[in-house]
Amino acid sequence: MSIYFEEKSRTFHLTNGMISYIIKVLRNDHLGQLYFGKAVDHREDFDYLVEIVQRSMTIYAYPGDMKFAIEHLKQEYPAYGSGDYRQPAVRVIQKNGSAVTDFIYESHRVIDGKPKLEGLPATYCESDEEAQTLILTVRDSLTGVKIELLYTLFADRPVLARSARFVNEGADDVYLDEAMSLSLDLPDCDYEFMQLSGAWCRERYIYSTHLRPGIQSVESTRGASSHNHNPFVVLKRPHTTEDAGEAIGFSLVYSGNFIARAEVDHYDVTRVTMGINPLNFSWKLEPGESFQTPEAVMVYSANGLNAMSQVYHKLYQKRLARGYWRDRPRPILINNWEATYFDFTEEKLLSIARTAKDQGIEMFVLDDGWYGNRINDKSGLGDWYPNLNRLENGIVGLAERIEELGMKFGLWIEPEMVNFDSDLYRAHPDWVIQTPGRRMSHGRNQYVLDYGRKEVVDCIYEMLEKLLSEAKISYIKWDMNRSISEAFSGVLAADRQGEVMHRYILGVYDLYERLTSAFPQVLFESCASGGGRFDPGILYYAPQGWVSDDTDACERLKIQYGTTMCYPISCMGSHVSISPNHQVRRATPMKTRANVAYFGTFGYELDLNALPQEELDMVKDQVAFMKEYREVIQYGTFYRLASPFEGNIVCWMCVSEDQNVAVVGWYKILNGVNMPFSRVRLQGLDEKKSYCIDGGESYSGSELMHIGLITSDGSAGELVDGVIPSCDFDSRLYILKVDVDLPEGR
Ligand code: DGJ
């Protein structure tokens, strides 16, 4: 890993043998972007990449010079206003109202390791050998605003992590109206823009469109990263597949309003910018103040989307997620939400827990409805103490009884919200986000606390700290069930109202940081009406997240498949629920519901006492199976093999680090009759090893990867007793275990 600086040509080359990133200080002292992609050999200059020519209708930088035009140059961190008409990375509003700045190179330094980003989640190193960081300083001399651009290159990953830190070293206030985490100019536009988009109950579907002139973007303005668009996009070549071709991933480690856009200019240059959404964002920087942008993580793959995803999986699993649970297989849990909703008593919960324990389930999670006056979704939010009318022994007593059964106890909270009908709201009606004189919109009868106010976060922290200290709680499900509207803070001055949304999310991070530090062994699972805030920012605090409120196995194929584009299996909350399913009324086999849920953290969300004995026996077997294979599934290398967005068959697999064990999940959406034979080419195996499939026949890794695994099912076979021996929503798991290393030459 090297970060070169060539003094004569003023060129920076960051390379680790996998990727190269090249920046040059241009003639006007701005930073130019020369290259990002597969590693290239170093040389003293890459000046041939700075192409300047005279063209009509161009604004030139220097009097008498008809060539040097910012508009034609690939910029590193472009500013608004001086002849670059594309979307900027930075826009600073000044005392006189001007938004024009001129950020010129001032200095740079290279440090070992990776600095922490104050108050923000970010990837990290465990030792200084793991990464190097280039800090490039540029300054606008008129305002005195300095920007430190941070580039962290990881030693053995094709990853570059970027962010920007602003410091006002001038004499006047300025306002940051646009402060992106990254900007990247690529020399052509032959890319597809891939995004993960959807809505509640159908999060993170994969969409790809070829770039065209103009801007394509995804964003959130809701106060959370949202169900609708994930802060993650990919630029991939049109021919790129899961296994071959170029792809560049862009992922923002942030949970609030974001934007990710690709702009193709009139010379087919593609500019990617990613960061805090500038819509209604404005951050006042008084003299001496600083502002740190969230981090954006770029991954380059020359070998397709699976390779790109695997880099994100490992990075986010090991160098974004933190703490006690980071490397541990996740407990198999039972959650009572779809079993009881608000209708439970302590005895009912305990009876579900007892049955769960008998099947080997490790943790019981009590969802919504245990606190304040929470009998339905109209009251109680904000009052984080138990409802003793419903739970006579409180949370302390219930947790104790669950522990006595030999299980761990987990609890649901939604700490960012209040209902009007709550003690907290009655005591502090001014703590909610509301605009004076305006209507207050609600979502699910609830209102959003102003987490930009420290006293609000302190108060919630105290309630939760008491709860977690008193009761034996091993897991917290942190929910968040509405978007922010009428954004305004009662404690901020008029010229700081553009800070509300970002301050809100900083408050959320602050509470997460305080709780996870005070209770390091508690496993946090994030949730936002399912996957409404499923992003890398939250993953820094909560190593797993509830992927979606849609628990139907067939729907989950798309949701989980899309989610794996960026996020590791170990962070994907997935449960077996009842059939017919509560969201779509679809009936699916018990086996398939588990076969889908295994590819996640795994648990159950149904009334086990309502299951016939035959299904309970299946639960027992499933739990035993997951205990044996969760390490491979959650921490192995994951491959997408057949996409639910493209066909009737879905397939994916996980391979252990040592390539000795693999678990393949195969799913068929609709059944057919007299269907073709089928096979799936596996991935990630050792060609030279022989794998025994489900304790039966053995095949070499090379056969399984190049010829394929035979997956033909009953729909491609003979009728049995006059009917097809397969069904809709069928599925299979294949367990591959190495039996022998193959002799040379076989
Ligand atoms: C939304 C979550 O996504 C559900 O799992 C459940 O916890 C409900 N909220 C409870 O209100």
Give the orientation angle of helix 500-518 with respect to helix 454-470, to 10 degrees.
20
Model confidence at 106: pLDDT above 70: yes
Single-letter amino acid code for the residue at 231: P
- Give nearest CA residue, ligand 1 atom 10: 368
Mind giving me the DSSP string for 532-567? Answer: TT-SHHHHTT-SEEE--S---HHHHHHHHHHHTTTS
- Indicate if ligand 1 lies below 6 Å from the C-beta of 550: no
- Indicate if ligand 1 lies below 6 Å from the C-beta of 294: no
* Contacts of 424 by beta carbon, 8 Å cutoff, 6+ apart: 381, 382, 383, 418, 431, 459
> Per residue in 648-678, pLDDT tens?
999 999 999 999 999 999 999 999 999 999 9
Mean per-residue pLDDT, 296-309: 98
Atom of ligand 1 nearest to the CA of 529: 3
Atom of ligand 1 nearest to the CA of 546: 3
- Indicate if ligand 1 lies below 6 Å from the C-beta of 337: yes
> Per residue in 702-742, pLDDT tens?
999 999 999 999 999 888 888 888 999 999 999 999 998 77
345 vs 743: which has the higher pLDDT: 345
Share of the chain above pLDDT 70, in %: 100
* Contacts of 373 by beta carbon, 8 Å cutoff, 6+ apart: 379, 380, 383, 387, 421, 422
DSSP state of 510: H
* Contacts of 240 by beta carbon, 8 Å cutoff, 6+ apart: 192, 246, 247, 304, 305
Tokens 């062994």 sit on residue? 521
- Indicate if ligand 1 lies below 6 Å from the C-beta of 530: yes
What letters, b where the CB count within 10 A reaches 16 and e where it falls short, cover 637-665? bbbbbbbbeeeebbbbbbbbeebbbbbbb
Atom of ligand 1 nearest to the CA of 527: 3
Model confidence at 324: pLDDT above 60: yes
Q: For residues 247 and 69, what is the distance between their CA atoms, to the nearest angstrom?
A: 30
- What's the longest Cα–Cα distance across the chain? 89
What letters, b where the CB count within 10 A reaches 16 and e where it falls short, cover 272-310? bbbbbbbeebbbbbeeeeebbbbbbbbbbbbbbbbbbbb
- Token readout for 680 is 């799936």
pLDDT at site 359: 98
- Indicate if ligand 1 lies below 6 Å from the C-beta of 527: yes
Mean per-residue pLDDT, 152-158: 97
3-state secondary structure of 53: coil
pLDDT band at residue 528 under the 50/70/90 scheme: very high
What is the total residue count of the chain? 746
Virtual CA dihedral for 641, 654, 162, 240, nearest 10 degrees? -20
Atom of ligand 1 nearest to the CA of 477: 7
pLDDT at site 46: 98
Model confidence at 619: pLDDT above 60: yes
Q: Which neighbouring-strand residues pair with 650?
A: 667
Catalytic residues: 479, 549
Residue 511: is it exposed, middle or buried by C-beta count within 10 angstroms (0-12/13-18/19+)?
buried
pTM, rounded to two decimals: 0.98
- Indicate if ligand 1 lies below 6 Å from the C-beta of 367: yes
Residue 368 CA to ligand 1 center (angstroms) comes to 7
> Per residue in 216-245, pLDDT tens?
999 999 999 999 999 999 999 999 999 999
Q: For residues 584 and 580, what is the distance between their CA atoms, to the nearest angstrom?
A: 8
- Substitution candidate for ligand 1 out of 202, 334, 366, 367 with most atoms within 8 A of CB: 367
- Give nearest CA residue, ligand 1 atom 9: 529
Tokens 């241009």 sit on residue? 26
pLDDT band at residue 745 under the 50/70/90 scheme: low
Model confidence at 275: pLDDT above 60: yes
- Give nearest CA residue, ligand 1 atom 2: 529
Residue 549 CA to ligand 1 center (angstroms) comes to 7
Model confidence at 188: pLDDT above 80: yes
3-state secondary structure of 353: helix
Residue 17: is it exposed, middle or buried by C-beta count within 10 angstroms (0-12/13-18/19+)?
exposed
Mean per-residue pLDDT, 596-606: 98
pLDDT at site 724: 87
- Substitution candidate for ligand 1 out of 338, 549, 605 with most atoms within 8 A of CB: 549
pLDDT at site 718: 86
Instruction: State the number of CA atoms in the 13 A half-sphere of 488 facing the CB.
Output: 13
Q: How far is CA 268 from CA 84, 87, 187, 208, 409, in A?
A: 15, 14, 7, 19, 56
- Indicate if ligand 1 lies below 6 Å from the C-beta of 200: no
> Per residue in 330-376, pLDDT tens?
999 999 999 999 999 999 999 999 999 999 999 999 999 999 999 99
Contact 291, 162 (CB under 8 A): no
DSSP-derived pairing of the beta strands 523-526 and 475-478 = parallel
> Per residue in 550-594, pLDDT tens?
999 999 999 999 999 999 999 999 999 999 999 999 999 999 999
Residue 692 CA to ligand 1 center (angstroms) comes to 42
Tokens 């989640």 sit on residue? 121
Residue 92 CA to ligand 1 center (angstroms) comes to 41
- Indicate if ligand 1 lies below 6 Å from the C-beta of 481: yes
Q: How far is CA 724 from CA 668, 713, 720, 728, in A?
A: 14, 10, 6, 11
- Give nearest CA residue, ligand 1 atom 1: 529
- Indicate if ligand 1 lies below 6 Å from the C-beta of 383: no
Single-letter amino acid code for the residue at 603: G
Q: For residues 76 and 12, what is the distance between their CA atoms, to the nearest angstrom?
A: 12
pLDDT at site 146: 98
Q: How far is CA 690 from CA 158, 309, 701, 737, in A?
A: 31, 27, 6, 8
Q: For residues 221 and 500, what is the distance between their CA atoms, to the nearest angstrom?
A: 12
- Substitution candidate for ligand 1 out of 227, 343, 412 with most atoms within 8 A of CB: 412
- Token readout for 26 is 């241009």
- Indicate if ligand 1 lies below 6 Å from the C-beta of 365: no
Residue 479 CA to ligand 1 center (angstroms) comes to 7
What phi, psi does 617 have (nearest 5°)?
-60, -35
Mean per-residue pLDDT, 139-149: 98
> Per residue in 24-75, pLDDT tens?
999 999 999 999 999 999 999 999 999 999 998 888 888 999 999 999 999 9
Q: For residues 452 and 333, what is the distance between their CA atoms, to the nearest angstrom?
A: 34
Mind giving me the DSSP string for 253-264? Answer: E-SSSEEEEEEE
Q: Angle at CA 283, nearest 5°, toward 277 and 286?
A: 160
Atom of ligand 1 nearest to the CA of 549: 3
Model confidence at 744: pLDDT above 80: no
Query: Is the bond into 580 cis (omega within 30 degrees of 0)?
Result: yes
- Indicate if ligand 1 lies below 6 Å from the C-beta of 478: no
pLDDT at site 719: 87
pLDDT at site 742: 74
Tokens 């950020």 sit on residue? 103
* Contacts of 685 by beta carbon, 8 Å cutoff, 6+ apart: 655, 659, 662, 691, 701, 704, 705, 736
Q: Which neighbouring-strand residues pair with 249?
A: 234, 299
pLDDT band at residue 746 under the 50/70/90 scheme: low
Atom of ligand 1 nearest to the CA of 530: 3
Which of 345, 343, 336 is closest to 411 using CA atoms? 336
- Indicate if ligand 1 lies below 6 Å from the C-beta of 534: no
Share of the chain above pLDDT 90, in %: 95
Q: Which neighbouring-strand residues pair with 303?
A: 245
- Substitution candidate for ligand 1 out of 334, 376, 381, 479 with most atoms within 8 A of CB: 479
Give the number of other Cβ atoms within 10 Å of residue 265's Cβ. Answer: 18
- Substitution candidate for ligand 1 out of 417, 481, 552 with most atoms within 8 A of CB: 481
Tokens 């994951």 sit on residue? 638
- Token readout for 268 is 């087919």
746 vs 123: which has the higher pLDDT: 123
Contact 738, 661 (CB under 8 A): yes
Q: For residues 643 and 475, what is the distance between their CA atoms, to the nearest angstrom?
A: 33
